[in-house]
Chain A
Amino acid sequence: GIQVEQSPPDLILQEGANSTLRCNFSDSVNNLQWFHQNPWGQLINLFYIPSGTKQNGRLSATTVATERYSLLYISSSQTTDSGVYFCAVEGRRRGSTLGRLYFGRGTQLTVWP
């Protein structure tokens, strides 16, 4: 399957700071999604972004498919942004299973007041 690497593994910020999370993937993709897992374990989809740029409030994401990476930007971070951010991809090559996502190990974000 596709390899997904996320960096940094851990990030500690003061409230109000900005941050950039990175996701590198090893092959062409049909689908790339960013998720946030809160401290209680619930995962919420943030973006579907196989290419291009999207914004949703203080969060934005950019995927450069030709260079096989995606970035998640968090501006003016808040304590409620704490948790783990996962990148997940679906392969494009023939033989890839539609709908099957491969997850990275995540970035653990802690925002202090």
Chain B
Amino acid sequence: DGGITQSPKYLFRKEGQNVTLSCEQNLNHDAMYWYRQDPGQGLRLIYYSQIVNDFQKGDIAEGYSVSREKKESFPLTVTSAQKNPTAFYLCASTLGTRSTDTQYFGPGTRLTVL
């Protein structure tokens, strides 16, 4: 089945540790996105990538890093510099960057910092 997978579903981290969230898609989509969602809030864009080996900062990139070495993969690293990392993280992709392209979302990863 085609779709977006994120792993793990739940992640617990101690303060001061870096952690990497996985996002894989087999839709052959060019563009991929990472969002953060806090309780009662909308989605805020962390990073996005429109093509392999290129990515751009979103509105809240501080304390996060990404890579896009393969078309199907867009991992997100939450570093120790992120002051309040506990949140729900969603990965999405689109076929391209045309306005008509709809976004498809993965199931999300819930990160809790202990």
Contact = CB atoms under 8 A, between A and B. Distances in A.
B59 A99 contact: no
B42 A105 contact: yes
A86 B43 contact: yes
Interface in B53-99: 56, 58-59, 88, 90, 92, 94, 96-99
Contacts of A31: 99-100
Max chain B Cβ within 10 angstroms of own Cβ: one of A4, A31, A97, A99: A99
Given A41-B107, A42-B107, A42-B108, A98 B99 contact: yes
Contacts, number: 61
B98 to A, nearest CB: 7
Interface residues of A, number: 26
Max chain B Cβ within 10 angstroms of own Cβ: one of A97, A101, A104, A105: A101
Given A42-B105, A103-B44, 13 more contacts: A41-B88, A41-B90, A41-B107, A41-B108, A43-B92, A48-B102, A88-B43, A88-B103, A98-B97, A99-B50, A99-B96, A99-B101, A100-B58
